[in-house]
Structure 1
């Protein structure tokens, strides 16, 4: 736990640093650990920390599918849907109760796509994802996910922060709070092209954690991914040598202040922000420059092909950030509209468009990470805030389903070619080896060498944690 007197006001920090790097310098500040308990020091606010026990993974790439892809149309094969297609059956659905006050009969809807078995493990994957299907022997499917909230806003917040109604730190903020970063020259937590809706900045916020742990947003949803780069990173007026001379003078004055205010962690954070901002001028721009990548790499991610170019660039950026040592990277297939991308309440056929945009880039990321040896210590996590129902809505769509859906993991520490848990025969509700979102969070922290019950922060008189007072480690997923 950390002393809350060391909290840094983000607004004050940005105003004090006045060096034009904004949240970039702020989010890159890291904390140095002593033992298993994070603490801010004057030396480096986000230096690497020792995990609580030997980790299986050093970093995480989370691929967020905003809007809730339909598990029964993608990775959770349910032959009964075809047999019962069009029949009216009773489903215990909370959204139906909210609308009518009782459970009603719903018309079963089969998948519009055929399923095929892939790999040695023989996992069933729909024709929406043939490229990911070819990677199934490296994947660990969790078919029994369930979560809190039935609307996008609450469920998205729960996915990212472990709560639907409190201002809580995001997963990436908790991880950088617990472990720091691997590279002091770049931010430890980066989110690529995040949406401003359904939680917006709260999905990568530090909340009540010190401001060093806030995620750095690179680009935004709706903006082309080739524009996702660090802004205001270069000083066009002064040379690096002149800037260094200015910084040395400024830091010498700051150090004298620190000597007389040794317990002022806020002052120390401001001082460190100057140094980080200077280092990032030299190291950060190259991180988003894809010009050095080969044509074969571009082809692997689908870059240069209209349907896959944008998300392919995001996934390639994620690989480069993992390679550079960013601790937590989030890739967002998202937009800023009122209807999130995978949210097909009608015209479920649109799933084909979204699958086309993401299938090859995600498969390319897995292959690229594997051939570079990065999967050995990087965990890839894919999923949305919930799934979709197995019955009809609005003629040809599906409603939200938080009671049962699919995520998959890949890489460091998890079993490969493995499926865990199950929904019922229609895919409506998780019934076997159920995994709550708190359990997923606890398991990811465990793979990083963090005990989710011990990673706490005292705020407003209470010790908070990502998993609140719940969560269990799903040991069956671990290799």
Structure 2
């Protein structure tokens, strides 16, 4: 027979030391719960055990937010961050077939008999203690060389703009999937109840532009409340957000309460979860009436910040203005801020167009990193700069060193990242001497997505959504976290 001290016979019997040790753990858990779930102790039951609906990451995040500076149209890696002296030495020579190896071509170069190698339109220099190779088109980004991680081995399957940019933003070349920002909104929610968790800003450069479509920031099959909110330049950043003349704030509140009551009745009758999203969107729009104008107003920014970003930051709709707005949105708790800058599709006149595009983005991109850094925000804000694929090392059409372009190249291209747990001052991945094929540390788009989600505290294999009988995720059925990129 077991003695009287048996735990089975005395399950509640504890001594004084055990009681206080367990009490301290309990208080700590309560405190943590109140931080992770602000509404935990406001009364009423929490209606879900789905961590994604509570905004709780799977593990400790390295980054709290992402600012994605997307260069739509695909800037050439040979005029940005992948230095290839061989192209200058062998200028005009035909690309060896052993290098091209029968790769699929676009319709724009498939009829070419020759593929003459074309050197960079400008020189390259090494910068910072890290010795990063950066083209002379980007003197301001060169100054932050020790803050950025340049990835030179990204690759994709898409060879045309629309499927390529769709793949980058949604994890699929086929339209209809949720965008990156929507997945993060679904997984983590918002840090500010008065602003959306996912915001989009657009600008246009002087070069050849590809179209931008709302499918790139769509929530797909996720609830529509996770869709990106496009903020426009000018007096009305969000269409139809302001009340009509003659409608007071209290009248608008009364109207929303009545509409919400009717919607809730309809939701009970139909069981349609999308009605809850509609209610949430109405409420968000109401709160945004007060918060958005304040966030978008840069008139109180000090002169040194205006000087840092450049005078263009005072012109609504420019890349510089959007970069400054991105910092303000991040500062106010927006989880994912997506900037699209059009004009990088240089099939011809590359030297002139690249120079103009670089002037548009160079200073403001570097300023954003420096601004976040001086505010202590860079360590938990992940900044990304890059396009949807790369460019060919040979010229499109006849060889003409004074006026040429480069075609699409999905096999290898470059981007850079800064902050948010990414190792600074490193170059990751390597291409061959022609810059055509990856020879070290390839990074697929799925790997890229998995790594970003990991930095945000999410396991890309666990964050799923059941739709049409199967579970979907941003990385679909692939993707590996590139731990060598992270601190």
User: In which range does the TM-score fall when normalised by the shorter chain?
Assistant: 0.7 to 0.9
Residue in 2 that maps onto 1:150? 159
Residue in 1 that maps onto 2:126? 117
Residue in 1 that maps onto 2:16? none
Spell out, residue by residue over 1:391-421, the C-alpha distance to the aligned partner (whole angstroms, 9 max, x if none).
1213311111110010111111110001110
Q: Is the 8 A contact 1:85 1:110 kept in 2?
A: yes
Residue 241 of structure 1 and its aligned partner are, at CA, apart by 3.3
Separation in structure 1 between the aligned mates of residue 262 and residue 158 of structure 2, nearest angstrom = 51
Gaps of 5+ in 2: 1-45
Gaps of 5+ in 1: 1-31, 40-47, 220-224, 335-340
Separation in structure 1 between the aligned mates of residue 184 and residue 106 of structure 2, nearest angstrom = 38
Residue 89 of structure 1 and its aligned partner are, at CA, apart by 2.8
Q: Is the 8 A contact 1:345 1:397 kept in 2?
A: yes
Counterpart secondary structure, 2:70: strand
Q: CA RMSD in A?
A: 2.7
User: In the superposition, relative to structure 1, how do residues 80 and 250 fare at CA in structure 2: closer, same or farther (>3 Å)?
Assistant: closer
In the alignment, is residue 367 of structure 1 matched against residue 370 of structure 2? yes
In the alignment, is residue 86 of structure 1 matched against residue 92 of structure 2? yes
Residue 200 of structure 1 and its aligned partner are, at CA, apart by 1.0
Where do 1:27-426 residues align within 5 Å? 34=48, 37-39=51-53, 49-90=55-96, 91-92=99-100, 94-96=103-105, 105-193=114-202, 198=211, 200-219=213-232, 225-226=233-234, 229-235=237-243, 236-248=245-257, 257=265, 264-304=272-312, 310-334=318-342, 341-349=343-351, 350-394=353-397, 395=400, 396-426=404-434
Separation in structure 1 between the aligned mates of residue 316 and residue 75 of structure 2, nearest angstrom = 18
Residue in 2 that maps onto 1:443? 451
Residue in 2 that maps onto 1:45? none
**Stretch moving more, 111-120 or 88-97:** 88-97
Separation in structure 2 between the aligned mates of residue 152 and residue 242 of structure 1, nearest angstrom = 47
Separation in structure 2 between the aligned mates of residue 355 and residue 365 of structure 1, nearest angstrom = 15
User: In the superposition, relative to structure 1, how do residues 269 and 168 fare at CA in structure 2: closer, same or farther (>3 Å)?
Assistant: closer
TM-score using structure 2 length: 0.82
Residue 363 of structure 1 and its aligned partner are, at CA, apart by 0.6
Q: Is the 8 A contact 2:108 2:407 kept in 1?
A: no
Residue 305 of structure 1 and its aligned partner are, at CA, apart by 7.9
Residue 269 of structure 1 and its aligned partner are, at CA, apart by 3.1
Separation in structure 1 between the aligned mates of residue 360 and residue 65 of structure 2, nearest angstrom = 25
Residue in 1 that maps onto 2:38? none
